[in-house]
Structure 1
Amino acid sequence: MRADRLVSLVLLLRQRGQLTATALARELGVSTRTVLRDIEALSAAGVPVYAERGRHGGFALLPGFRTELTGLNQDEAIAVLVAGAGKGELASALRKVVDALPEGHRVAAGDAAQRFLVEPETDLLSRRAVVEEVSGAAVAEVRRAVLGGRKLRIHYAATGQEPLWRTVDPIGLVTVRDRGYLLATRGGADRTYRLSRVLAAQELAEPAQRPGKVDLERVWRERCARFLADGHIVVLVRVRPERREELLGAVVAVRAEQPDADGWLRLEVAFQDSRHAGWALWQLGVDAEVLAPQSLREFLYNRAAVIVERYISS
């Protein structure tokens, strides 16, 4: 879904002009650090994004790119094809845009795009990337129900349960760190469904029971707060930037993130429970430091002390 986010970022800059990294992060549902990495990736791929410094600065596209999307040049065509490589509907949509290019640009872009591999399943350390499999047909049906304001039947596989059919009133779709969620109500109660667990979906003819307008960012923030308060443990941790993604792959939610003075990152994250937190942070070794809660610091200290004692005695 990163490719989807890159295109969304470009479209936001086209529609609204100059935006700060904070504003882009809020619109895309990611951290400002992620936005800066995306801006760097777009620039490297040839998309003309530039930064305005100063108090009223931000990021913007060169004027020609903003007003002439159908007049993509060769470098820009390569950029959009690379962004959509292997991304299903997104790749199909971007290919249609490139199809409108002059013959010379189209052939050159197609040939060049074969020379780029974006987000492969395995990195240099041979770790397989964790990618959630999402049913394209199911998501398309969910999207139609959300946009059409109709009730939706979903065949949903909750954790540790057999898949069941549920009828819900869809409110909106949220994408966070490459994971998609359906916000809905069921019998008047708030429900949040992970799209990767929606095995099938069917839009119904009956109108959904939902407000005409919705502040999706506020709804998502409120649900996140309730989720984090429901039996999870919140941990304040410092981590080296190169281990950040490994940490994020283990947590259930990120509440805050900011750079620390020494180049490390300071994050407030949530784990399923204390046992989960202890296991995940132990894997990071000396590349992470728990600041709170004290009980977790003591757990890691005591475990490390036992191991030191064992190896000193030998």
Structure 2
Amino acid sequence: MRADRLVSLVLLLRQRGRLPASVLARELEVSTRTVLRDVEALSAAGVPVYAVRGRGGGFALLPGFRTELTGLVHDEALALLVAGRRRGAQAFGLGPALASAVLKVADALPEEHRDAAAGAAERLLVEPEADLLARREPQEELPGPVVAEVRRAVLSGHRLRLRYAPPGRAPSWRTVDPVGLVSARGQGYLLATREGADRTYRLSRVLAAEVLPEPAERPDRVDLERAWQERSARFRAGGDQVVALVRVDPARRDDLVGTALAVLSEGPDPGGGLRLEVAFQDGRHAEWALWQLGPGAEALAPAGLRTALGERAAALAARYAAPPP
């Protein structure tokens, strides 16, 4: 176990540069004292790791240091093969690249491990397309060139000009500073800032994208997990946003999810079908989205949304009840 941890420590320093002991401890899931002992062991073994004192200090490897770290064990190979089946990469347009990488990893395994790892991976399934109630996760259609351009802006640190289609509104162009990409429930999102304010864009609604030559205004490092949690919290407490409780026919579930901003909860409805708590941009968006579903969905709350839909339906019924003039 300690040998594996030492290898992981070297890999972290190689890939991420100088890191404080507290970060190394969190990444390796050990105490800071254990990290210090591991650094001493690496130094004694001839690995050129050194400490930088003071604020912003930590541990680092001498520039240019390289070492051969080969020999995947069975569980490591299995983890890679299972991860290669996850659909998160699809949200970023990296599905084919991930599949190719997994094939290369499998081919590089020693023959005695290759068949065993592949066979074991077939018995582990992560995030299937449908759950036990046969509800399928929504599959977004993402134009490859557009997603590739967004991804290039995020990774190169350049500003991005994109044409975005918010739900229920006409598409428009905007220039943003990309921060990162997030996959949640099989859907891809671009986290960015626009004129200094946080913005979140759903990738499936990006119609066109262009990387600009000027660098993005963003910090050098980012904690995407924390950024996503903070934006999710602000989203739930947002001003004009409407959270609706909806009873929906399972056959129209994907249509509802496809128009909503987010699904906050989901489960079976006592009266049959599904009951979802979904968020919309505002009351106008909520009314528009549910009206498209007709009898396939029913707004249970808030009362104002239910009343608005009822009044619209009554007006339409009254119009068609009379013969045309």
Deviation (angstroms), 1:248: 1.0
Residue type matched to 2:232 in 1? R
Pick aligned residue for 1:253 from 256, 262, 265? 262
Q: Which residues of 2 match residues 40-119 of structure 1 at below 5 A?
A: 68-69=74-75, 71-72=77-78, 87-101=95-109
Checking the alignment, whether the CA contact within 8 Å between 2:159 and 2:216 is kept in structure 1 is no
Q: Aligned pair in 2 of structure 1 residues 192, 298: CA closer, same or farther (>3 Å)?
A: closer
Deviation (angstroms), 1:90: 2.0
**1:270 has 2:270 as partner:** no
Q: Report the Cα distance in structure 2 between the residues aligned to 1:97 and 1:306, rounded to whole angstroms.
A: 62
Q: Which runs of 5+ in 2 are unaligned?
A: 1-26, 30-71, 123-127, 130-137
Pick aligned residue for 2:299 from 290, 293, 307? 290
Pick aligned residue for 2:230 from 212, 219, 224? 219
Q: Report the Cα distance in structure 1 between the residues aligned to 2:211 and 2:295, rounded to whole angstroms.
A: 38
Q: Deviations over 1:79-121 (max 9, x none)?
A: 7776679922222222222322467968xx8xxx9xxxx97xx
Q: Report the Cα distance in structure 2 between the residues aligned to 1:245 and 1:190, rounded to whole angstroms.
A: 28
Corresponding pairs, count: 219
Residue type matched to 2:253 in 1? R
Q: Report the Cα distance in structure 2 between the residues aligned to 1:243 and 1:280, rounded to whole angstroms.
A: 10
Q: Report the Cα distance in structure 2 between the residues aligned to 1:91 and 1:279, rounded to whole angstroms.
A: 40
Q: Kindly report the root-mean-square deviation, in angstroms, between the aligned alpha carbons of the 2 structures.
A: 4.7
In structure 1, the residue matched to 2:19 is: none
Q: Report the Cα distance in structure 2 between the residues aligned to 1:278 and 1:82, rounded to whole angstroms.
A: 34
**1:182 has 2:193 as partner:** no
Q: Deviations over 1:32-87 (max 9, x none)?
A: xxxxxxxxxxxxxxxxxxxxxxxxxxxxxxxxxx96256559xx96x777667992
Q: Aligned pair in 2 of structure 1 residues 297, 281: CA closer, same or farther (>3 Å)?
A: farther
Deviation (angstroms), 1:175: 2.0
Q: Aligned pair in 2 of structure 1 residues 253, 201: CA closer, same or farther (>3 Å)?
A: same
Q: Secondary structure of the equivalent of 1:249?
A: helix
Q: Report the Cα distance in structure 2 between the residues aligned to 1:283 and 1:16, rounded to whole angstroms.
A: 53
In structure 2, the residue matched to 1:122 is: none
Q: Aligned pair in 2 of structure 1 residues 129, 299: CA closer, same or farther (>3 Å)?
A: same
Pick aligned residue for 1:132 from 136, 139, 142? 142
What TM-score, normalized by structure 2, do the two folds share?
0.50
Deviation (angstroms), 1:299: 5.1
Checking the alignment, whether the CA contact within 8 Å between 1:278 and 1:296 is kept in structure 2 is no
Q: Report the Cα distance in structure 2 between the residues aligned to 1:192 and 1:141, rounded to whole angstroms.
A: 17
Checking the alignment, whether the CA contact within 8 Å between 1:278 and 1:299 is kept in structure 2 is no
What TM-score, normalized by structure 1, do the two folds share?
0.51
Q: Report the Cα distance in structure 2 between the residues aligned to 1:282 and 1:69, rounded to whole angstroms.
A: 50
Q: Report the Cα distance in structure 2 between the residues aligned to 1:254 and 1:208, rounded to whole angstroms.
A: 31
Residue type matched to 2:108 in 1? A
Q: Aligned pair in 2 of structure 1 residues 175, 130: CA closer, same or farther (>3 Å)?
A: closer
Q: Which runs of 5+ in 1 are unaligned?
A: 1-14, 18-65, 120-127
Deviation (angstroms), 1:242: 4.7
In structure 2, the residue matched to 1:58 is: none
Q: Report the Cα distance in structure 1 between the residues aligned to 2:28 and 2:266, rounded to whole angstroms.
A: 26
Pick aligned residue for 1:158 from 153, 164, 172? 164
Checking the alignment, whether the CA contact within 8 Å between 2:287 and 2:309 is kept in structure 1 is no
Q: Secondary structure of the equivalent of 1:157?
A: strand
Checking the alignment, whether the CA contact within 8 Å between 2:264 and 2:278 is kept in structure 1 is yes
**1:142 has 2:153 as partner:** yes
Q: Secondary structure of the equivalent of 2:164?
A: coil
